[in-house]
Each structure stands twice: as structure tokens, then as C-alpha cells.
Chain A
Amino acid sequence: DVKVTQSSRYLVKRTGEKVFLECVQDMDHENMFWYRQDPGLGLRLIYFSYDVKMKEKGDIPEGYSVSREKKERFSLILESASTNQTSMYLCASSFQDLNYNEQFFGPGTRLTVL
């Protein structure tokens, strides 16, 4: 059974803290993605990676960075958390093939920054 796992379901951090969110997939997917989901705004892409050590900015990369050292693992880093980064964070992965590129999502991490 295909699986995307995220390191935490709920996380509470203080303003200014460095935050790491980790995502692991077991499907040998080339692509991995980080989204944030806020009411009324849908899923907004933060960063994605199409290969190990490769990354591209999404629509809202400011305040975030990412790391992909291994194919199965994609980390999202908030260098200095702020209250406006309180959100649900979803990781996803997919193949690059045009015909088989559905995205598989993890369960999400609800991050609260106080």
C-alpha cells in the first residue's frame, strides 16, 4: 500500500523558533511537494523537488526552505517561525510521467506558531 508519512500531526512552536517538518514516501516517486492549506485559499505550493538535491520555488516560498538529500525524504524548514505561518502543511509525492502523475498526500501537520 502506497504511503506518505509526515513527522508530526500537530506541532506548537514559538515565534522565532526553527521548525523542521519531515516527509517520507515509499513509492520511489521522483517528485515531492510541500503545500500549505488555509481556509478559502486551497492548497498553495511552497516548494517542490523533482530529484535529489533539486528544488524549485512554488507560489509562496518566502520564509521557507527545503532539503532533499535522499529520494524518499523531503524536509520543509521554517528558519524563524512567525504567527502567519500557522497553517496545515501537506506533503505530497508523484511520478513525473504525464500519464501517472497523481499526487499522494500525507496526513498533514497542523502547525501553530504562538
Chain B
Amino acid sequence: GQQVMQIPQYQHVQEGEDFTTYCNSSTTLSNIQWYKQRPGGHPVFLIQLVKSGEVKKQKRLTFQFGEAKKNSSLHITATQTTDVGTYFCAGRGTSYGKLTFGQGTILTVHP
């Protein structure tokens, strides 16, 4: 079945440093979504990428979808303590909206 691998599992940064998490799928994806889960909370949707090579920005967050639609990345510029949490990518194949989630990257930001 479809597998989505995400690295790194953990990332510790000093406030102000940049952060990147990477996602790779074993199969071509219809789209990829990114979610953020704050400590003690539930995953919350951030963004969806659909087109090959797509790049989207949300303030300090930059999301990319690979040309082959099998990989993606999330880059945060100048991290802040409010960025703390677990970031998940989730790839959609072809059926009915089912997503396969990556293992997540736990981001810790030291002030």
C-alpha cells in the first residue's frame, strides 16, 4: 500500500533559526496536505498542494510539492516559540479522500 515517510522525527532549534521537514511517498499523489498539532491538541489543517512543482507561502511557512508529485517539504523561516508542535504531511492517492499520514516531525523551539 501507499507509504509516506517523513523526516526528521525530531528537530530542536533556537528561536530565530530555520526549520525544514521532508516528506516522501512511495507512490504518486493526487495532492498533499500539511497539518500542525500543538502539544495536547489535535491536528489542524495548514495547506493543500495539488499541482506538480507547486509552491505556496503562508507568512513564514513555505510549502513545496515535488515535480513528480511524490515528495514535499515545509520550511519555516525564523522560527518562533509559537511554531512548537508536530507537523504532519498527508498524501492523498485516488480513493474517496483517504489520506496516508507521515510519522510527523516534532519541532521544539528554544527561546
Q: Which A residues fall within an 8 A CB radius of B?
A: 30-31, 33, 35, 40-45, 48, 50, 56, 58-59, 90, 92, 94-96, 98-99, 101-108
CB-based contact A101/B92 at 8 Å: yes
CB-based contact B101/A43 at 8 Å: yes
Q: Which B residues fall within an 8 A CB radius of A?
A: 1, 6, 9, 30-31, 33, 35, 41-45, 48, 50, 88, 90, 92, 95-104
CB-based contact A43/B92 at 8 Å: no
* Distance (whole angstroms) from the CB of B33 to the closest CB of chain A: 6
Which chain B residues lie closer than 8 Å to A35 at the CB level? Answer: 101
Given contacts A59-B1, A94-B97, A40 and B42 within 8 Å (CB-CB):
no
Which chain B residues lie closer than 8 Å to A106 at the CB level? Answer: 42
* Distance (whole angstroms) from the CB of B105 to the closest CB of chain A: 10
Which chain B residues lie closer than 8 Å to A43 at the CB level? Answer: 43, 88, 90, 101, 104
Which chain A residues lie closer than 8 Å to B42 at the CB level? Answer: 90, 105-108
Which chain A residues lie closer than 8 Å to B48 at the CB level? Answer: 101-102
Which chain B residues lie closer than 8 Å to A98 at the CB level? Answer: 30-31, 50, 92
Which chain B residues lie closer than 8 Å to A108 at the CB level? Answer: 42
Can you report 24 residue pairs joining A to B where beta carbons are below 8 Å apart?
A30-B97, A31-B96, A31-B97, A42-B6, A42-B101, A43-B88, A43-B90, A48-B98, A50-B96, A50-B97, A56-B96, A56-B98, A59-B100, A90-B42, A90-B43, A92-B43, A96-B96, A98-B50, A98-B92, A99-B50, A103-B90, A106-B42, A107-B41, A108-B42
Which chain A residues lie closer than 8 Å to B33 at the CB level? Answer: 102-103
* Distance (whole angstroms) from the CB of B67 to the closest CB of chain A: 20
The 4 closest A-B pairs by CB, nearest first: A42-B103, A102-B45, A43-B101, A105-B42
* Distance (whole angstroms) from the CB of A32 to the closest CB of chain B: 10
CB-based contact A101/B97 at 8 Å: yes
* Distance (whole angstroms) from the CB of A44 to the closest CB of chain B: 8
List 8 additional contacts besides A101-B97, A105-B43; criterion CB under 8 Å: A41-B103, A42-B6, A42-B104, A44-B101, A56-B98, A58-B98, A98-B92, A105-B42
